[in-house]
Every structure is written in structure tokens, then in C-alpha cells.
Amino acid sequence: MAEAEKKPNPDEIYEGLTGTQKCAILMMLIGEDEAAEIMGNLSPKEVQVLGAAMYSVQGLGQDTVNLVLDEFLAIIKAQTSLGISGGGYIKNVLTKSLGEDKAQTVLGKITPSDSNKAIEILDWLDARSVADLIIDEHPQIIALIISYLDPSTASDVLTFMPEKSQSDIIKRIATLETVQPEALKELDRVMQKVFSSNASLRASKVGGVPAAAKIMNFLSQDGEAKIMKEILKDDKQLMQDIQDSMFVFETLLLSDDKSLQTLLRAVEDDLIILALKGADEELKTKLFGCMSQRAAANRQDEMEALGPVRLTEVQEAQKQIIAVARRMSDEGAIVLAGRGGDDYV
């Protein structure tokens, strides 16, 4: 009788499941090919979150699984249990959807206990704590650790580093390519743990100019300017490469309409017309859709009347609009995708 009372209540377990965990249960039921197709349409961050949730729901009782299926209108009722090898299943799904290398990277981040990387601990710490942990390490190790973090977190950690070393760290991240096992072993020493999975000790692709640019995107304009100035002193081409990979005019396509409407109201018409001369049709459609019909028609007419213009003039106009957008983003007036504006609740 006492044992029966201790038995977990399926209703209570079900009530405690998050939406992601419920989706993970369905993913575990629909088959590897279908799951892989779904995974292929998710962002890297979503793949990591969903993959971790798939691990967390292994071993759930049949009653709890049935309750989840009932909630989703009993879809896939033919499959009634999660009695499969979760690790092998998830590895196959990720490999089919992402390819071997990317799958290994994601698995290294989400696989529990048996390959629990110490660097995962950093995801649970605030930026100040991470900075305090690594501030006395070699700049290359600091760059390696920061390159593993989410860009928004990485930018915050960077701001807690000594100002004189910030540009050096960004340069190192921008020039990181393949990190050999020896470097990862050194990282293990710093974190006072070891990667238990041998696969994680293979040469790993981290950093690079895109990674550095993403981190820079989350800095304020003042912070960005200081770092870029220092990088320019040592490597003008690297600075240019990072700058070219940062938030660009085409990225406005990813921003929400309300933010774009606010931005357009803050920019001179002549600048908008010139910048749109060099934009692709999808972005033009997006921006014209954020204007009134009359304003859009007038600006289209003025674009046609403008005639041919130099590419350099168009690029300069676009840069000026992006500068305004970044300033307004720093002030909180608008939200830009890629600068902390792609997460909504």
C-alpha cells in the first residue's frame, strides 16, 4: 500500500511538463525521418533546446505519454511508448537533419552526464560571474570560451573584460578556426573538468569572423567603436571583414514591422530612397509594406525618377540608416533582429 502511494501520479507529471517537453515526446514517437525533417527547419538554438528536452522525457510512464497525446488530439496514437534507445535515436535524428559534424556539436552540448562538458556550467551563470572565472586566463583561452557562448551573453562577458584587452579578444575570436584537441584539453584544465566524450576532443570548428561579428552586434555603438579602433591599428582587413559581417542593411528584413516603421519615420526620405535603390525586391517589399500606401507610392516614383546612381552612394546611404537603427536599438526605441531582437515571449 505504501509503495502504491509513492508511485508518481501521471496527472501530476503531465501537469509539470513544459511545452517543449511535450513536443519532445511527440518527436520521440513520430519516427527518425519525420523528426529529422522537423529538426532541419529549426534554428541551432531550437535544435539544442528540443534535443535536451528529448533526453529529459526518456522513461516517462505510459499514462503520462497518453495524456500528452490526448492534448494533441491523439495524433500518432498507434505509438504508445517511449521504450526506445533515446541516445541512439536522438543521435540518428540530429545526424540526418544536421550532418555528422553539426550533430556532434549539438550532441556535445545536450547529452547529459555521460558527456557533461564543464563549459555548460557557464550557461547557468551571469556574465559577471563568467568574466570573473576566466579573467586571469590566457587571452586565447578567454577567446575560446567566449566563442562558445551565446552571442548576447558573450558580448556582456566581453564588456567585463579589461578595456585594453577587449579588442585583442575579438581579434582572437575572429581568427579562430579549427581548435585542436590540445587546446581543448587546456580548456578542460581551466574549467577543472574533462570532456568525457572522445568525440568532443576532436578538432573543433569554433570562432571565425562571423562569430566575432555576432558578438559585436550585441555591443553598444560606443563599445563597438572602441574595439574596432583598436583592431584597425593592428589589422585593417580583419576590422573590415568583421564590420562587413555585422548587422547590414539586408538584415532589416528580419526585424518586425513596428520597429521598421519607427525607424523609417526617423530617417530622411532622400536617404531611404537612395538606400532602397540597391536593395533586393524582398526587402523593398518589406519596407514599402511598413509605409502608408501613399508614402510607398511616392517613394517608388522618386526611386524611378532618380535614375542610375553609384553603388558607393547607395552603400553609404544604407550604412547611415543602419547607424540610425543601431543608435535607436541602443536607446531601446526599436528592436533589431540579430541584436537581441529575435527572442520573444
Q: pLDDT over 70 for what percent of the chain? A: 69
Q: Is the pLDDT of residue 334 over 70?
A: yes
Do 119-245 and 249-331 come out as alike in CATH topology? yes
The cell numbers describing 322, all together, are 543602419
Domain 119-245 grouped into CATH 1.10.220.30:
yes
What pLDDT is stored for residue 225 in this prediction? 80
Residues ≥6 apart with Cβ < 8 Å to 149:
122, 123, 130, 157
| Host H or E run for residue 104 | helix 100-110
What pLDDT is stored for residue 341 in this prediction? 45
Q: Is the pLDDT of residue 148 over 60?
A: yes
The cell numbers describing 210, all together, are 562571423
CB 287 within 8 A of CB 271: no
Q: At what angle do helices 269-276 and 293-306 cross, to 10 degrees?
A: 60
Annotated domain spans of the chain: 2-111, 119-245, 249-331
pTM above 0.85, yes or no: no
- Cα diameter, the chain: 87
Distance CA 280, CA 284 (A): 6
The CATH code belonging to domain 249-331 is 1.10.220.30
Work out the pLDDT band at 177, boundaries 50, 70, 90: low
The highest-confidence range among 60-74, 234-248, 253-267, 322-336, by mean pLDDT, is 253-267
What pLDDT is stored for residue 137 in this prediction? 83
Q: Is the pLDDT of residue 67 over 50?
A: yes
Please tell me what DSSP assigns to residue 41.
T
Q: Is the pLDDT of residue 82 over 50?
A: no
